[in-house]
Structure 1
């Protein structure tokens, strides 16, 4: 779930729930760069997303959480410590080597 720069919320939803959720008021398929984003819906308030009442907002949060709970955990990648980066001749972007 995220706030949209155009106003409203971007909500990740289960693919099998998309059609039913599109029946809700102020809901549309998310389109970015002319492409429909599968599994994402755009929810607007009237006139602003702040106008969504508590139960309505809670329902959208529950939809998003239900999807996230089905995702596998992210792989944790350990970063080399600073001395290992120096020894390898690499440093974070924007920082001088040395």
Structure 2
């Protein structure tokens, strides 16, 4: 699946144009398996990010587990993890800044 143009622009703004990003949308079963294998937690994550190198990475999103969050928010959240940001106030401010800049909402609806 090709990313929407807006997602490519967000990726370029956060990680740069040369960053090679793969995005996959997984079922709840597949996401549970990945979460168990990589995080040793038996639950369905809504988004997981995996840096593969300094210039490439992968984001996995489970739409079924995303609620109440928007897919756009989860994509941005995943990008910021690839940029090595951790959960907290700094990450939340950056999420809000990017959501506003690109016209998206944190929540569905």
Q: Which has the higher helix share?
A: 2
* TM-score interval for Structure 1 and Structure 2 normalised by the shorter chain: under 0.3
Structure of greater Rg: 1
Taking structure 1 as the reference length, the TM-score comes to: 0.25
